[in-house]
Amino acid sequence: MSSGPIPVSDEQRRARLGRRHLLAAAGRAARVEQVADAVVGLHATDAATVYLSACARLAEPSAAEVERALYEDVTLVKLLSMRRTIFAVTEGFAPYVSASTARAIAVKERATLLKHLREFAEGWDEARLAEAERAVLAALERRGEATTSELGADVPALRETMLMSAGKPYEAKQSVGSRLLRLLASDGHVRRCRPRGSWLSSSYPWAPVAQWPDVPVREAKAEVVRRWLAAYGPATVEDVKWWTGWTLGDTRTALGDVGAVDVALAGGGAGLVLPSDTEPVPEPEPWAALLPGLDPTVMGWRGREWYLRPEDVPALFDRAGNAGPTVWWCGRVVGGWAQRPDGEVVWRFFSDVGAQAGAAVEAEAARLAGWLGEVRVTPRFRTPLERELSA
């Protein structure tokens, strides 16, 4: 007779997090591709997050190692995918992310862009949009790479603008070019190249990319869930649905396809793990981490009470739910950090964490400041505690 689902304590969940997300010092990676696969994908909506998240998990952190993967070897690619967020994923995983999520988002992006072109620009329809896309891809084939502005010299239609929310206090002009290149990237036709300027720059050229192999959608969704549960399990159905941005039906189908099994979470909640992942893992050595805004670990689950106190959320998240920089100790968020204009990395604990934790966090702050050097980082989505500490 079955004794019911295997219990998994919060302590065990935190042990898995420390090991599998490469946050315990002994488990840090040599290459950024290992980091991206360990957390399934690195959040890339804020360009700085990819670098900061990767370097927090690298044995020898450096911006050059991240740039190698993104722009030299192109073994890390950015896709508008889960939850309509830009993720940097490994080249081998990209076809699954594209088939499971990105292509469906691209369909919606295309419909939205066409709607806006018809409403806010003149002379645009589906045929003209397709013609402009072909012209852009042809120009990129000739040039190798080019910014949206440079492409406007070859494809004048890109220089046209749309007046959004005309007559309202928040009216704004959007260029057709910026939206069209975003669409081509969502469709997997182009990629961002090395920024013009520092690695924090938002000015970057585009280059054409070879099309990924076709993967059946159901197979792709199952692979995404398999990788995610391996990194983030145990997790609830709601966690998986939230992280992927899929429907509940698609989420449950994918969980069934990977054979996810039930476990009992602390407090009586129902969780899921892969069939091969029911045994406990050893506790890692005590570890500290300074993770950036939007880091995949802090944003990994919808239900966060086992690693984040609800009373600390207002200081660490903006009103849209974007996480700011967080300080971690042995699998819990214990504070927040920021970089001041003079480069100093400062932090604040929410409670007394003890001398060992204090020394470990100080060492991590020195490690972070060391590889940043003269670079100054301001999160794209600023949170109350980050603003206060950086002032």
pLDDT tens digits along 6-65:
999 999 999 999 999 999 999 999 999 999 999 999 999 999 999 999 999 999 999 999
pLDDT tens digits along 238-260:
999 999 999 999 999 999 999 99
Residue 1 has pLDDT above 50, yes or no: no
Cα separation, 221 vs 182, in Å, equals: 23
Cα separation, 23 vs 36, in Å, equals: 13
Percent share of the chain, pLDDT over 70: 99
pLDDT tens digits along 196-236:
888 888 788 999 998 899 999 999 999 999 999 999 999 99
Which residue has better confidence, 174 or 9? 9
Asked if the peptide bond before residue 208 counts as cis, ω within 30 degrees of 0, the response is no
Q: In the structure encoding, which two tokens stand for residue 42, read together?
A: 């690195």
Determine the Cα angle at 243 with ends 238 and 245, to 5°: 90
Mean pLDDT (whole number) for 382-388: 97
Output the pLDDT for position 167.
73
End-to-end CA distance of the chain: 61
Written as one string, the DSSP assignment of 241-260 is HHHH---HHHHHHHHHHTT-
pTM of the model: 0.94
Residue 377 has pLDDT above 50, yes or no: yes
Among residues 83, 131, 73, 122, the alpha carbon closest in space to that of 105 is found at: 83
Q: In the structure encoding, which two tokens stand for residue 310, read together?
A: 């609800």
pLDDT tens digits along 92-143:
999 999 999 999 999 999 999 999 999 888 899 999 999 999 999 999 999 9
Residue type, 110: R
Mean pLDDT (whole number) for 350-359: 98
Cα dihedral value 164, 166, 172, 174, nearest 10:
30
Residue 2 has pLDDT above 70, yes or no: no
Mean pLDDT (whole number) for 65-91: 95
Write out 308-337 in H/E/C secondary structure: CCHHHHHHHECCCCCECCEEEECCEEEEEE
Name the phi and psi angles at 191, rounded to 5. Answer: -135, 160
Decide if 298 contacts 308 (C-beta within 8 A): yes
